[in-house]
Amino acid sequence: MKTYRIITPLVFFLLVFTSCSEETEEYSHIGKTQGRAVSFRPEDTSQLKSMGHIRDWAFLPGDRIGVFAVDMRNLDGNQRPTDLYAVNKCFMYDGQNFNPEREEDRLFVLNQKLAFYAYYPYNPSMDHSWLRLDFSVCPFQDGWEHSPHESLGESWHHLGSDLIVAVNEEGITGDIIPLRFRHMMAMVEVELNHGIDRTADSIILSRKYLNCTVDMMYSKAYISDTLKYDVRMSLISGYDGTSWYRALIPEQEVQQDSLLLRIYAGGKEYLHYADDYFGFKSGVTHNFRFSLPCTITLSHTSGGTVSGGGTRHCGDYVTVKAEMDKGYNFSGWYEDDKKVSGYLHYSFMANGDRTLEARFYPLNK
């Protein structure tokens, strides 16, 4: 499978393909058996890291792509193909190249000016779609790696994390055709500091479009309906009071002040709104960082005063201060009747709600 080398273990999301055109056309050039057979090789995509794109990924042996070929001499006035040279040929990765999986998947070429279009993960029922793919993202993106959608069949039990497509319109320069793959979904990543003492129950990406049509010729995804859905984000990892969540959605715009995220933790709901107008762009990782609020409650015995309590955010450094009245001494800061500090100024990182008491005693005791 294609894997992501980001922060955490591999996570899968359920993505469903359907064909977006009817099979009403005969293709006279399909099934050519003359000329030389070609294979495909993915180009290095590590340079995309510096461009803000979805971070490093790699194909693994056994991954399969679907390949279309177009004779560039057969285009209509809108630069769309009037004929397809090859349709949805299945090529499997061997660690270096993509080779035809079966004899009928072999792709023979002569000296035609061919353009090649590929997509991953391979869908055997994609068929004649005129290089347009209907694509839907599942709104429940947490846990699909543990319970694949069995109704999609055995070949769909291992789905990639994203729809990616590749284009080569430079013509045939050898027996191995280079393909430059591009992610067609936008990745939303949330870093949530919830503190060591609690975890988030779930994070919901609020009211987003999930259905789109992907034009392989132009590597562009278009929203295909007006329905919006809540997306339950996938928990990727957690460490030392911080968790990372992720979701994939089609490219779309976000209006200023619109509800962006709903975070559920400790029986409470926390809402986050878009500060400005912006867009989720395909192939780009959009990072958000949030910290849950926590309350520092202070009290004291007679003989002094305290300050520094109130509402903070998890991850903030907090300093609470005690000041003795004349004729009193300071015993320390206590939490749940246990002494946590003997200093008048007590500093700590907020990792959840805390209730602290400053205790004083008269000097004559």
**pLDDT digit string, tens, across residues 255-294:** 999 999 999 998 899 999 999 999 999 988 899 999 999 9
- Output the average pLDDT for the chain: 80
- Cβ neighbours, 10 Å, residue 129: 24
Tell me the pLDDT band of 80, cut-offs 50, 70 and 90: confident
Worst-scoring range by mean pLDDT, 109-113, 151-155, 187-191? 151-155
pLDDT at res. 59: 85
pLDDT at res. 58: 75
Residue 315 CA, chain-centre distance (Å), reads 24
pLDDT at res. 129: 60
pLDDT at res. 121: 85
Q: Is the pLDDT of residue 354 over 50?
A: yes
> With contact defined as beta carbons under 8 Å apart, do 274 and 257 qualify?
yes
Worst-scoring range by mean pLDDT, 75-89, 106-120, 214-228? 75-89
The topology (CATH level 3) of 3-185 is: Immunoglobulin-like (2.60.40)
Q: Kind of pairing, strands 200-208 and 186-193?
A: unpaired
278-313 in b/e burial notation, b at 16+ Cβ within 10 A? eebebbbbbeeebbbebebebebeebbebebbeebe
Q: What does the pLDDT average to over 48-55? A: 40
Which of 75-89, 121-135, 310-324 has the highest mean predicted lDDT (pLDDT)?
Answer: 310-324
Tell me the pLDDT band of 191, cut-offs 50, 70 and 90: very high
Residues ≥6 apart with Cβ < 8 Å to 104: none
Q: What does the pLDDT average to over 162-169? A: 82
Q: 188-205+221-292 maps to which CATH number? A: 2.60.40.2670
Worst-scoring range by mean pLDDT, 133-137, 146-150, 174-178? 146-150
- Could you tell me what percent of the chain has a pLDDT over 70? 79
**pTM, 2 dp:** 0.75
Tell me the pLDDT band of 180, cut-offs 50, 70 and 90: confident
